[in-house]
């Protein structure tokens, strides 16, 4: 029997657990450099990836809490340094690294990530010059997003006080390290969400100089998008003159230093006052010059105008001429009128009037009315009168009374045709052929005692035909 053959066998689980403890005890803290491959983020928030070089590959996992604290977004192709511990996964007989922190491996990797993110955001148009807005000439309020304890805010306030004292609102944020990008993006969006009456007219996003790692928060995508989408014009003043971040490309204006950002934000007050004074003097000189030139032109034109006497002398001469002509015309008109009056008065002499009167009497004496014409006129007039009498007899409202009818009238003599009209009258007059009867309606009432029966009026009789009619002259 071979040595060791009587050793008790181990189960798969037992050997897997022994390997797991051995690996974790031996490699409890390791730092591994490699290129990210196969990165994916699960719905649970955990991240799975593989680190590889040109000869080997190791799986890795980043738990959700650790992934939320990363300073950059992992993606395939990045050269990183992962810190954590090795462990095994017995279910698949594999080993892996549980990553507790992840950092980019050197400045070259950061620049590679910088260029890659820059190209992607530029492709979306976030850096286009058409998106840039003009800065306000003299902002009333300036918002500053920076650290409240650094020298940057003091430099900005000091420079603003020297150039043009302005109202400044400071939104304190972290400018590097974990959570800095989120705070800067929230500050930019927070200023934009303020009420328009209290909202700053201009924003300055500022930070002092440093390495690319120190300035990396201003290369993060949330910060770049917040600056590009800001409703307020933004000046980016991150780092020194040689430092460049993606925030500089997204901002409406880039300043090489925070102090330069303050100089860009406001003009020099003393220069403005001097310019205003110079413009005032120029305006006054221009006004005086225009006034003097206008006076010279007026004097020159006034000298070329004719004198008043020269303008009025022809009119005066014409008025005198018309006056003389008027007097002569009035004399001629008066003589003509006198001749016309003399001729008219000559026709009114007594002898002429007597002759005309005698002639008229002779013509009147010759006129005689012939009997035949008079009889014809009289006959026609009699016929027309007889026709009118017949029409009158037919239209007489009392004619039917001779046949047994009665006519109902109101107290004022109006003939009533409807029962409703008769019922509304306090008294009624009933006309018969032999007289009038005064009655009161049965459903009516009067203010005083009932009137006594009216006396029968004598019947109206027509004029006797035998009576002679007045003859017409026609």
**Residues 249-265 pLDDT 10s:** 999 999 999 999 999 99
* The predicted structure's pLDDT at residue 455: 46
More confident residue, 449 or 94: 94
Question: Residue 255 falls within a domain, yes or no?
Answer: yes
Nearest to 261 by CA among 269, 250, 252, 249: 252
Q: What is the CATH number of the domain that holds 97?
A: 2.40.50.140
Q: Of 104, 128, 154, which marks where a domain is finished?
A: 104
List strands edge to edge, sheet with 167-172.
167-172, 141-146, 202-207, 234-238, 253-254
* The predicted structure's pLDDT at residue 403: 81
Q: Of 220, 252, 267, which marks where a domain is finished?
A: 267
Q: How far apart are CA 227 and CA 230, in angstroms?
A: 5
Nearest to 251 by CA among 228, 229, 271, 218: 228
* The predicted structure's pLDDT at residue 243: 80
Q: What is the pLDDT of residues 283-303, one digit of tens each?
A: 989 999 989 899 989 888 888
Q: What is the pLDDT of residues 304-357, one digit of tens each?
A: 887 777 778 888 888 888 888 888 888 888 989 888 888 777 767 777 778 888
Q: Of 82, 104, 126, which marks where a domain is finished?
A: 104
* The predicted structure's pLDDT at residue 176: 87
Question: Residue 322 falls within a domain, yes or no?
Answer: no
For the chain, what is the mean pLDDT? 83
Count, residues in the chain: 474
Token readout for 253 is: 């204006």
Q: Report the 10 Å Cβ neighbour count for 247.
A: 27
Residue 360: which pLDDT band, with cuts at 50, 70 and 90?
confident
Residue 365: which pLDDT band, with cuts at 50, 70 and 90?
confident
* The predicted structure's pLDDT at residue 456: 44
Please, are residues 88 and 95 in contact by the beta-carbon 8 Å criterion? Answer: yes
Helix or strand (DSSP H, E) at 48: strand 47-52
Residue 179: which pLDDT band, with cuts at 50, 70 and 90?
confident
φ, ψ at 253 (rounded to 5°): -150, 140
Going by DSSP bridges, is the β-strand pair 253-254/407-410 parallel, antiparallel, or unpaired? Answer: unpaired
* The predicted structure's pLDDT at residue 464: 40
Question: Residue 390 falls within a domain, yes or no?
Answer: yes
Classify burial at 188, counting beta carbons within 10 Å of its beta carbon; exposed 0-12, middle 13-18, buried 19 or more. buried
Task: Indicate if 205 and 285 belong to the same structural domain.
Answer: no
* The predicted structure's pLDDT at residue 393: 77
Contacts of 332 (CB under 8 A, 6+ apart): none
Q: How far apart are CA 238 and CA 259, in angstroms?
A: 11
Task: Indicate if 164 and 84 belong to the same structural domain.
Answer: no
Q: How far apart are CA 199 and CA 192, in angstroms?
A: 7
Q: Which residue has the tokens 């409240």?
A: 148
Over 60: is that where the pLDDT of 91 sits? yes
* The predicted structure's pLDDT at residue 4: 53
pTM of this prediction exceeds 0.85: no
Q: Report the 10 Å Cβ neighbour count for 409.
A: 19
With pLDDT > 90 as the criterion, what percentage of the chain qualifies?
27
Task: Indicate if 148 and 190 belong to the same structural domain.
Answer: yes
Task: Indicate if 239 and 279 belong to the same structural domain.
Answer: no
Q: What is the pLDDT of residues 9-25, one digit of tens each?
A: 888 888 888 888 888 78
Q: What is the CATH number of the domain that holds 237?
A: 3.40.50.261
E-strand stretches of 279-353 = none
Over 50: is that where the pLDDT of 271 sits? yes
Reported as half-sphere exposure (CB side, CA atoms, 13 A), residue 337 has a value of: 6
Nearest to 174 by CA among 211, 216, 142, 202: 216
Task: Indicate if 159 and 231 belong to the same structural domain.
Answer: yes
CA 417 to chain centroid, in Å, comes to 70
Q: How far apart are CA 178 and CA 181, in angstroms?
A: 8
Indicate the range of 28-42, 141-155, 243-257, 431-445 predicted with least confidence.
431-445
Tell me which residue range forms the domain holding 79: 12-104
Over 60: is that where the pLDDT of 473 sits? no
Going by DSSP bridges, is the β-strand pair 79-89/30-41 parallel, antiparallel, or unpaired? Answer: antiparallel
Task: Indicate if 141 and 259 belong to the same structural domain.
Answer: yes
Task: Indicate if 149 and 237 belong to the same structural domain.
Answer: yes
Over 80: is that where the pLDDT of 377 sits? yes
Rg of the chain in Å (alpha carbons): 64
Over 90: is that where the pLDDT of 370 sits? no
Task: Indicate if 82 and 178 belong to the same structural domain.
Answer: no
Question: Residue 237 falls within a domain, yes or no?
Answer: yes
* The predicted structure's pLDDT at residue 2: 55
Question: Residue 162 falls within a domain, yes or no?
Answer: yes
Question: Residue 209 falls within a domain, yes or no?
Answer: yes
Task: Indicate if 43 and 92 belong to the same structural domain.
Answer: yes
Q: What is the pLDDT of residues 108-118, one digit of tens each?
A: 667 777 888 88
Task: Indicate if 32 and 87 belong to the same structural domain.
Answer: yes
Q: Report the 10 Å Cβ neighbour count for 288.
A: 10
Please, are residues 469 and 385 in contact by the beta-carbon 8 Å criterion? Answer: yes
> What total of structural domains would you count in the chain?
4
Which residues on adjacent β-strands are paired with residue 429? 409, 438
Q: How many helices (H) and strands (E) does the chain have?
A: 13, 13
Task: Indicate if 158 and 234 belong to the same structural domain.
Answer: yes
CA 446 to chain centroid, in Å, comes to 74
Task: Indicate if 429 and 454 belong to the same structural domain.
Answer: yes
Over 60: is that where the pLDDT of 1 sits? no
Question: Residue 114 falls within a domain, yes or no?
Answer: no
Q: How far apart are the first and last CA of the chain?
A: 185
CA 62 to chain centroid, in Å, comes to 56
Question: Residue 52 falls within a domain, yes or no?
Answer: yes
Token readout for 472 is: 């017409």
């Amino acid at each position: 029997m071979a040595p060791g053959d009587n050793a008790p066998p181990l189960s798969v689980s037992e050997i897997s657990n022994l390997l797991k403890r051995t690996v974790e005890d031996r490699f409890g803290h390791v730092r591994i450099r490699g290129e990210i491959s196969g990165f994916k983020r699960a719905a649970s928030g955990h991240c799975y990836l593989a680190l590889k070089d040109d000869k080997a590959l190791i799986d890795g996992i980043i738990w959700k809490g650790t992934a939320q604290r990363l300073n950059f977004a992992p993606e395939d192709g990045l050269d990183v340094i992962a810190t954590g511990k090795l462990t095994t996964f017995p279910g698949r007989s594999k080993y892996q690294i549980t990553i507790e922190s992840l950092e980019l491996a050197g400045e070259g990797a950061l620049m590679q990530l910088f260029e890659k993110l820059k190209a992607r955001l530029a492709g979306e148009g976030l850096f286009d010059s058409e998106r840039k807005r003009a800065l306000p000439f003299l902002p009333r309020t300036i918002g500053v997003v920076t650290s409240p304890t650094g020298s940057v805010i003091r430099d900005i306030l000091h420079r603003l006080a020297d150039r043009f004292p302005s109202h400044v609102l400071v939104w304190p944020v972290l400018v590097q390290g974990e959570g800095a990008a989120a705070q800067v993006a929230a500050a930019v969006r927070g200023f934009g969400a303020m009420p328009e009456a209290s909202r700053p007219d201009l924003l300055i996003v500022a930070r002092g100089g440093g390495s690319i790692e120190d300035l990396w928060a201003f290369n993060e995508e949330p910060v770049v998008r917040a600056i590009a989408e800001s409703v307020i014009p933004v000046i980016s003043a991150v780092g020194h003159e040689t430092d460049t971040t993606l925030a500089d490309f997204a901002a409406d204006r880039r300043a090489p230093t925070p102090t330069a950002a303050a100089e860009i934000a406001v003009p020099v007050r003393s220069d403005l006052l001097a310019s205003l004074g110079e413009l005032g003097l120029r305006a006054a000189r221009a006004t005086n010059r225009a006034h003097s030139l206008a006076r010279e032109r007026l004097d020159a034109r006034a000298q070329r105008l004719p004198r008043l006497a020269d303008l009025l002398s022809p009119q005066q001469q014409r008025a005198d001429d018309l006056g003389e002509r008027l007097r002569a015309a009035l004399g001629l008109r008066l003589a003509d009128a006198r001749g016309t009056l003399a001729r008219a008065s000559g026709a009114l002499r007594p002898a002429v009037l007597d002759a005309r009167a005698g002639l008229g009497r002779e013509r009147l004496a010759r006129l005689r009315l012939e009997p035949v014409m008079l009889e014809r006129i009289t006959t026609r007039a009699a016929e027309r009168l007889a026709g009118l009498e017949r029409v009158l007899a037919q239209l007489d409202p009392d004619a039917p009374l001779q046949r047994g009818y009665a006519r109902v009238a109101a107290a004022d003599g109006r003939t009533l045709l409807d029962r409703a009209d008769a019922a509304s009258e306090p008294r009624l007059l009933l006309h018969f052929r032999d007289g009038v009867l005064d009655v009161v309606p049965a459903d009516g009432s009067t203010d005083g005692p009932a009137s006594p029966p009216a006396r029968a009026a004598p019947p109206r009789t027509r004029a006797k035909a035998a009576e002679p009619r007045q003859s017409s002259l026609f």
